[in-house]
Copies of this chain bind each other. A is one copy, B any other.
Amino acid sequence: MGLAIKKINGLADFDLDSYLSARTAAVDRALAGYLKRYSERSGNIWKAMHYGLFPGGKRIRPILVLAAGELFGAKRKALMPFACAVEMIHGYSLIHDDLPALDNDDLRRGAPTNHKVFGEGMALLAGDGLLTEAFHVMSGAEALASVPAELVLKLVHELSHAVGVAGLVGGQAFDLEAEKGAVDIGVVEYIHLRKTGALIRASVRLGAQVAGASAADLRRVTRFGDCLGLAFQIADDILDILGETAPGELAESGHSEWNKATYPSVVGIARAQERLKNLFDQCLGELARYGKVAEPLRAIAAQVAARALQSNGKSATEEIKI
């Protein structure tokens, strides 16, 4: 392999599993609380939206909001509305992505996709509902209790940019059209940066801004987010190709890359792993100055990289202590 991942010093004591499970539980509680405002008697639309959020995946995006915010001193309570908004948007994008009009996937995280359970019309509306609810949550009393209106509005503006034509939606559309033609690695990175990267970047930026991070800190955490987002997608693509996950199942990015424009399918597994390793190093570099308080973000990045670097028999990632 030739891939050697350097030890992450100082992480020996950090228990990522505990960190993640505590935050996953907190995010789940908050999401459930927001949905509870709408009666279950709303019928299938409520059930379809709930099904789009529960059971969740690893809640990586909302946890990035929390971790980036905590890095700069924000309280979890102030961060949670933004964390939930980001996860609702992720949920909406998966539901719409799985529809027959796009990926036509029957399975998501090993369970039937939303439209398989509730029908295409209801799944479409459930996605619309989650996207709308994300902006409702961000602009509500919970967010305003801790964050000034000017900043909340700035974050609404930033998130809507990240998930609109210039980001998530544009990336999906580009991907849809790219399927028809030949693609090079520039196109693949362009799609990834928008389709997966934009929301990851927005997640860390939202957290940091809620915490009042300085401009320089925000730039560093933005670069961290950009590298992590691309690493995330490349790792998924490698795992898909290596058969670690079957198409439609458990891809962490949520976007099945089977038979599509992917990094490893264009440059091969080895070069994709080198690129992933390089991105991981850049992630660590951006966090170098922050000491122990950045361990959660380091460990998350390491976990993302480790999944796809250890999957060909050679245990390159044993060196990563997480």
Contacts and interface: CB of A to CB of B under 8 A. Distances in A.
A: interface residue count bin? 35 or more
Nearest to A155: B139
A102 interface: yes
B165 A49 contact: yes
B144 A164 contact: no
A11 B42 CA distance: 43
Interface stretch (A58-66, A173-181, A272-280): A173-181
A99 to B, nearest CB: 7
Copies in the complex: 2
B157 A136 contact: yes
A132 B177 contact: no
Contacts of A247: none
A131 to B, nearest CB: 6
Interface stretch (A105-113, A121-129, A207-215, A298-306): A121-129
Task: Report the 3 A-B pairs with minimum CB-CB distance, sorted nearest first.
Answer: A45-B173, A101-B120, A136-B160
Given A92-B128, A96-B128, A135-B135, 12 more contacts: A38-B166, A44-B177, A45-B169, A45-B173, A121-B176, A122-B176, A128-B128, A131-B132, A132-B164, A132-B165, A139-B156, A140-B157
30 contacts: A38-B166, A42-B173, A43-B174, A43-B177, A44-B173, A44-B177, A45-B169, A45-B173, A96-B125, A100-B120, A101-B101, A101-B123, A101-B124, A125-B173, A127-B128, A129-B164, A129-B170, A131-B132, A132-B165, A133-B164, A135-B156, A135-B160, A136-B160, A136-B161, A139-B157, A148-B149, A149-B150, A152-B153, A153-B153, A156-B156
